[in-house]
Amino acid sequence: MWENTAPLMHSVQYFQGWAMGNNVSLIAADIQLAGQLSLGSGIFHGKEGVLVYTYDPDGISKLLVARVPKRGHELTAPLASITAITDNGTYAWTDDGKDVPFITSHSLHFHLNDDLHTDRYREFDLVNYTLVQLTKPKDHLTACNNRLCCTLEYSIANLTETFFFGVLNGTQTIVPPLYWCEEDCMLVRCEPRNGKPCSDFPMQSDNLHANFSTDFIYPSVVSNRMRLIPRKEYDYAVERQPGGYMSYIDFNSQKGENLVAVVLQGQCYDRDPLTSFF
């Protein structure tokens, strides 16, 4: 059972990044208990990213089907389908995400009335991150943490909510005493303020890149209601360089997207502590 954790390790977010970072196909089925932090299933591809997924605390069982291209072949139609399965029969599912609340850290604190319909998740403690708040509608920023340096170039139509550019090179944990090593470079939206949801302005373009010591680098670009931005809307690559690896995400949207996270998550397995569960 995968337990969702914001802002880096929601199930489908991490599943897609893992498939792309390792250039493999992945089928992942999480239990449908949103109130117990577990939600999200899908079929993912190393080149194409997500082929089909569901992330919705609606309590409805679903069958996900996708065409998975062979290595070296292009993806062809029909691409994918989702079928809802209920006591009264089956039907095509087209409204995935409608029951997901606008993503905020307060989702963790909702009163738990129903395990099937209450979306909750853990939160990473960002105390060890180097954090830089975005204060301009357009900027070029560089931040470093323990010799890991990341660069962010972005433009935003209206900077009305709080975004942070974050970098980590060190030990990560969700529930002590379980620890592992990560090299993270990310742009994330913070929790709401003044009663506004963290979802009310478009990020039009950004370019995020960093120098990693590992080539296990998992990308993700996520918008409101835990929607995965289609792979065709951004470029991602990992390039070998002297002394390490350079990785980047180049996202450019003409219409704008209400993003909640743009992440390059490096897993430095060779530096995991002995208590690591990875």
Q: What pLDDT shows up at residue 159?
A: 82
pLDDT given at position 203: 62
In this prediction, residue 263 carries a pLDDT of: 96
pLDDT greater than 60 at residue 202: no
Specify whether the CB–CB gap between 194 and 177 falls below 8 A.
Answer: no
Which range has the worst mean pLDDT, 181-190, 202-211, 243-252? Answer: 202-211
User: For residue range 75-105, what is the model confidence (pLDDT) as tens digits?
Assistant: 888 889 999 999 999 999 987 877 776 554 4
Return the higher-pLDDT residue of 191 and 26: 26
CA–CA gap between residue 87 and residue 131 (Å, rounded): 49
Q: How far is CA 76 from CA 28, 41, 70, 80, in A?
A: 22, 22, 11, 10
Cα–Cα nearest to 262, from 13, 2, 3: 13
pTM higher than the cut 0.75: yes
For 218-256, what is each residue's pLDDT tens digit?
A: 999 998 888 999 999 999 999 999 989 999 999 988 777
